[in-house]
Amino acid sequence: MKISEIYEHKKSLSFEIFPPKKDSELKNIDATLEVLCELKPDFISVTFGAGGSSNCNRTIELAKKIKFNYHVEPVVHLTCLSYNKAEIDEFSRVLKSEGIQNVLALRGDRNPDIPEKDDFKHASDLITYLKQNEDFCIAGACYPECHPESENRILEMKHLRTKVNAGAEVLLSQLFFDNDYFFRFVEDCRISGIEVPVIPGIMPVINAAQIKRMVTMCGASFPVRFQKIINKYENNKEALFDAGMSYALSQIIDLLANDIDGIHLYTMNNPTVAKRICEGIKNII
């Protein structure tokens, strides 16, 4: 099923997972998938490492498992900066032959260790190319607090509109900890004529190192009220877990109360986190 069809009827609940680093660990992911899939998400998206065919293979392997063993719709992330058209054609061929219909089309982060190729400069180039050649449902990434390379919000919106005009049918957002950024961002999208579903990405924080890494990596603002919680409980693992869960739940409930199109949970492959969040919203979503 194409994930764009979900939004004709309902809000979505979806998870992001990443492929294990080693082939041997791919077998152990079943315990995680069993719990995640019992929660009946509308789809599970699988991240894609920047460059290197082994990453790609593990993403596709995992997506196949999700689809055929657990009967949940997978969304395969696909980056383009370090690939040429022939390589993207080969990924597309494999995805099609496995019956995978949904792709999150991304540029990918710049990495000095991975050479960039010339065929695709932006995610919108990949989307245009995929749409010309294939019949995938395409999702794109979006950034409620602007992409770190962005010059300003106006240009960011212009580029996002290019991405949607190229064929992105759903937008999945970068994580954020302050819902006001997301609400303003959706408003900006609608003013700019972007009408596709914009799905907020929520990452429940369960340890202090994780949040420091996330804030550095993606530039998400760290509201004072959340900072106080982290400072207070960072040396008490159980308390921080409870506090992180409650904070994420309060974000999600506020988003749902404001009629957003769905929730995309960054699970970090932790089924306990996903289960706890789903229990907290089972009568709401």
Catalytic residue ranges: 16
Binding positions for ligand FAD, rule: CB under 6 A:
47-48, 50, 77, 79, 106-109, 122-124, 141, 147, 149-150, 156, 159, 162-163, 172, 174, 201
Choice between 172 and 243, CB closer to ligand FAD: 172
CB 220 within 8 A of CB 251: no
Q: How many helices (H) and strands (E) does the chain have?
A: 11, 8
Pick from 96, 87, 171, 93: nearest CA to 126: 87
Least Å distance, CB 147 to ligand FAD, is 3
Choice between 2 and 161, CB closer to ligand FAD: 161
CB 245 within 8 A of CB 276: yes
Least Å distance, CB 106 to ligand FAD, is 4
Pick from 68, 71, 137, 132: nearest CA to 101: 137
CA distances from 19 to 16, 51, 277 (A): 10, 14, 22
Choice between 154 and 239, CB closer to ligand FAD: 154
Least Å distance, CB 192 to ligand FAD, is 13
Choice between 65 and 77, CB closer to ligand FAD: 77
Least Å distance, CB 78 to ligand FAD, is 8
End-to-end CA separation in angstroms for the chain: 21
* Sequence-separated (6 or more) residues with CB below 8 Å from residue 267: 15, 16, 17, 36, 273, 274
Choice between 122 and 131, CB closer to ligand FAD: 122
Least Å distance, CB 198 to ligand FAD, is 11
The DSSP symbol for 119 reads: S
Distance between CA atoms of residues 279 and 194, nearest Å: 32
